[in-house]
Amino acid sequence: MASQFRSYIWDPVLIISQIILMQCIYYSFLGLWLAGVDGLVHTNRSLNQIFSYEVLGFSTTHGRLSMIAFILNSLTCALGLWLFIRRGKQCLDFTITVHFFHMIGCWIYNSHLPVALSWWLVNVACIALMAVIGEYLCMRTELRAIPVNTGPKSNL
Residue 64, Cβ density class (10 Å: 0-12 exposed, 13-18 middle, ≥19 buried): middle
Cα gap 6→14, rounded to integer Å: 17
Residue 11 placed within a domain: no
Asked if residue 128 is part of any domain, the answer here is: yes
> Does any domain span residue 127?
yes
DSSP assignment letter at 145: P
pLDDT of residue 62: 85
Indicate whether 18 belongs to any domain. Answer: no
Does any domain span residue 102?
A: yes
Contacts of 80 (CB under 8 A, 6+ apart): 21, 22, 25, 26, 29
pLDDT for res 150: 63
In this prediction, residue 15 carries a pLDDT of: 93
Q: Is 46 a member of any domain?
A: yes
Question: What pTM was estimated for this model as a whole?
Answer: 0.85
**Contact indicator for 95, 130 with CB cutoff of 8 Å:** yes
pLDDT for 128: 97
pLDDT score of 1: 45
Structural domain boundaries enclosing 42: 24-141
Residue 94 covered by a domain:
yes
- Other beta carbons less than 10 A from residue 154's beta carbon: 5
> How many Cβ atoms are within 10 Å of 106's Cβ, its own excluded?
18
- Cβ atoms of 23 and 101 closer than 8 Å: yes
Number of domains in the chain: 1
Task: Enumerate residue ranges in the chain where pLDDT < 70.
Answer: 1-8, 145, 150-156
C-alpha torsion angle, residues 133, 136, 139, 145 (rounded to 10): -130
In a domain, 73, yes or no: yes
